[in-house]
Amino acid sequence: MEAPIDSAAHVSINAVSSCAKPNERVYLLGLDFGSTTSSALVASATLSRSRANGRMEFCDTAIEFRSEPVFTPFIGQTIDIVKVTALIHYWLQQSGLGDVSALNIGSETSHLNTNSVFSGGSIITGLAAQADNAAALSKVIHLIVGDSVIATADDPCLESWLAFMGSCSALSRYHIDVPILNLDIGGGTTNAALGINGDVLETGCYFIGARHFQFAVGSYRLLAVSDYGAVILKDLKIKATIGDTLNTNECEIIICFYIKTLEAIVLGNTEFFNSTLAQAHTQVAIQSHDYPKPIITFSGGVGELLYQHAAGGALASRTFFGDFGIDLARAIAHSPILSANLNTEQPENKGRATVYGLTLHSTEISGHTIFLPKPDCLPLRDLPIMAKLSPQSPNDQWQSAFTLAAKRELGACIQIIGVDALNHDKLLDETRALAQKIKAYWLVNQLTNTQPLLILIEANIGKTLGNYISDWGQSMQNMIVIDEVPLRNAHFVNIGRLHQQMVPVSFFGMH
């Protein structure tokens, strides 16, 4: 079954922070709405500086509330937003984050004490993300839980990254320099992520999951078929419609396609995906062929069933959940390729890897030497990352990034790379030169004083860089420089409220 509650209780070992107040804890919130089930997680942590890399991190992490998974409520092919809204209110009430006295199940108004949540996220995945009203649900979540939590739908690479971090990041750090490929298999998708030493290097997503075919419990009588399931029926020449019962051979043909697809992902067999059927089931292809023989781990609902089966636990009867989940778990266990590490390497979290990753790993913490002349401008949501630039990047790339930033009145972000923070003799000169370059492009492109421009940089030079850009506070531009944040390949970034001279930084739209 799923991992014990305290399995993620210590994300890292940190030194005592010089800025965090003793015993002061912040709260982290995760909400996961998937093809089959939805769940919530609330954790608390203190903020400290890591001995390993010197960055601010969460430490002494404790799970404060973990909901029981519930079936994601649908009305036909759309999400039942009224029921989901009631569900979120209920979770907030049960976790202690919501105002019980103000609770109104029919309301989309926030009853969350927004100051109590430092960061977190909500993600809508799989078939739920493909629903017509998934974007509307994201807006409702923002209304209920506020700006401290990102809310995103249909972000497959982010989900793959989160599932890896939530399930096997510790296992990956234990196996030094050994690639680990995690397959997070749920109701609608298989989210693949390959990582080494706890860092995700490649991600992908495939429409392989348990609920593309839904059955009357205890039988294979079809109640619903997803668009991807319909493609399988047509391509494999299975003549079945709603109300028909699939025979044993037809079920085996479908499961066989799923297993061959998963094996091709593991083996890096790109030729397999040349077929029309395989291409139709590929949302984002993972580039795993450069990493031969990785350790294979599983997470998600099917992953949890798989490890239960491998441990000798009894599985419920086929279609007990009204889908192919149990059949898929059994078939994976019988595949020599997929089951190679099943009994030797197990991730710390299985069935709820995404919500663990969302709660505990979706947020980075800035250093506390950030440049923030206008703290009231926070939080900032959905800032597009225009470019990743180094001081040596061509001038046309710098110009293009600032041209795009100038066109977005609500703000934009530019990531800066390639600053050698370890070379202290040259760092100040590099910082001055970088500041002059940013200032020049700011002026040429005529960004207004109301347009936020966020500069993200890994080096611990945020306040110094910002002061040089702004002539030590004399200019009025709305420039923000956040340092000591590891950069990610993403399209968007959110910045939360200021807390103890630090801010939470969350990326989404990963690629």
* pLDDT tens digits, one per residue of 385-433: 998 999 999 999 999 999 999 988 888 999 998 887 666 778 888 999 9
Longest dimension (CA), the chain: 76
pLDDT band at 147 (very low <50, low <70, confident <90, very high): low
Helix (H) or strand (E) holding 94: helix 81-95
In terms of Cα–Cα distance, which of 204, 202, 166, 373 is closest to 281?
204
> In a 3-state reduction of DSSP, which class is residue 272?
helix
Rounded distance between C-alpha atoms, residue 56 and residue 474, angstroms: 30
Indicate the range of 114-118, 449-453, 490-494 predicted with least confidence: 114-118
pLDDT in tens, 80-112: 999 999 999 999 889 888 654 444 444 444 455
> In a 3-state reduction of DSSP, which class is residue 427?
helix
| The predicted structure's pLDDT at residue 3 | 34
pLDDT band at 286 (very low <50, low <70, confident <90, very high): very high
> In a 3-state reduction of DSSP, which class is residue 386?
strand
pLDDT in tens, 324-361: 999 999 999 999 999 999 999 988 888 778 888 878 88
pLDDT in tens, 195-217: 999 888 899 999 999 999 999 99
**In this model, does residue 45 exceed pLDDT 70?**
yes
Determine if the peptide bond prior to 379 is cis (ω within 30°): yes
Sheet holding 380-389, edge to edge: 363-365, 504-510, 490-495, 380-389, 412-416, 453-457, 479-483
**DSSP string spanning 54-74?**
S-EEEEEEEEEEEPPPEEPPE
User: If you search the block for the tokens 């030094």, which residue do you land on?
Assistant: 176
Rounded distance between C-alpha atoms, residue 437 and residue 364, angstroms: 27
Cβ distance 215 to 323 under 8 Å? yes
Q: Which two tokens stand for residue 337?
A: 């390729």
**In this model, does residue 2 exceed pLDDT 50?**
no
Query: Could you count the other beta carbons within 10 Å of the beta carbon of residue 106?
Result: 9
Rounded distance between C-alpha atoms, residue 192 and residue 432, angstroms: 42
| The predicted structure's pLDDT at residue 8 | 29
